[in-house]
A = this chain, B = another copy of it.
Amino acid sequence: MPAPLIAIYPGSFDPPTNGHLDLIARGSQLVDQLIVAVLENTQKQPLFPVPERVDMLKHVIASYPNVEVDCFQGLLVDYAAQRNARVILRGIRAISDYETELQMAMLNRRMRPDIETIFLMASEQHSFLSSRMVKEIATLGGDVSSFVPEFVWKSLHGKLVGNPCKPPRK
């Protein structure tokens, strides 16, 4: 019996968007176990602290039996090796993504040739979505209810009190 295929889906998820959720749903069909791994990046100033991001992700993936949420520090390939993952899963939305992703995939392969990076294309309706854009629009009072899961929308709402997100347009 071959070893189960474990994949890491790494990211900042600050906050998770519908695009992330779509990738998790599709990626979880391809592997035995999918680990959604929140990167603890000590340099960037996040909107949500890591535990809140982990919570939001746990909430939105609850219905996928072979998906778990974790967080990690340090090199992605070291974390992947430690979790016995042979695959890193990444989504690509656009050309600029593609270049950065290509660079990282090649560096990672140089460091750990036994770990493979595989890419899925973002679905059309999410191709323009990013956590950064969601935060920017929400901060400016825009309605982001169609860009993030409802649970995340409520967390964003709570986070931005004083400059609250608009309620969804009817």
By a beta-carbon cutoff of 8 Å, the part of chain A in contact with chain B is 5, 26, 29-30, 73-75, 77-78, 86-87, 92, 94-96, 98-99, 102-107, 109-111, 116-121, 123-125, 127-130, 133, 137, 140-143, 146-147
Q: Looking at the complex, which one of B74, B120, B123 makes contact with A118 (CB distance below 8 Å)? A: B120
Q: Which residue of B lies closest to A118 (CB)?
A: B118
Number of copies of chain A assembled together: 6
Assess A128 versus B106: contact at CB under 8 Å? Given A29-B116, A30-B118, A140-B74.
yes
Q: Which residues of B contact A78 (CB under 8 A)?
A: 141-142
Residues of B within 8 A of A117 (CB): 120-121
Chain B residue numbers with a CB within 8 Å of A143 are 111
CB atoms of B128 and A107 under 8 A apart: yes
Cβ of A69 to closest chain B Cβ, rounded Å: 21
**Contacts A117-B120, A124-B125, A124-B128 given; 15 further ones with Cβ under 8 A?**
A26-B116, A29-B86, A30-B116, A75-B140, A78-B141, A78-B142, A95-B95, A95-B98, A95-B99, A102-B121, A105-B121, A106-B127, A107-B133, A110-B147, A127-B127
Chain B residues contacting A111 (CB-CB under 8 Å) are: 137, 142-143
Q: Which residues of B contact A123 (CB under 8 A)?
A: 109
CB contacts (< 8 Å) of A98 on chain B: these are 92, 95, 98
20 intermolecular pairs with C-beta atoms under 8 Å apart: A74-B140, A74-B141, A75-B140, A75-B141, A94-B103, A95-B95, A98-B98, A102-B128, A103-B130, A104-B128, A106-B124, A107-B129, A107-B133, A109-B123, A110-B128, A111-B142, A111-B143, A118-B118, A119-B120, A124-B127
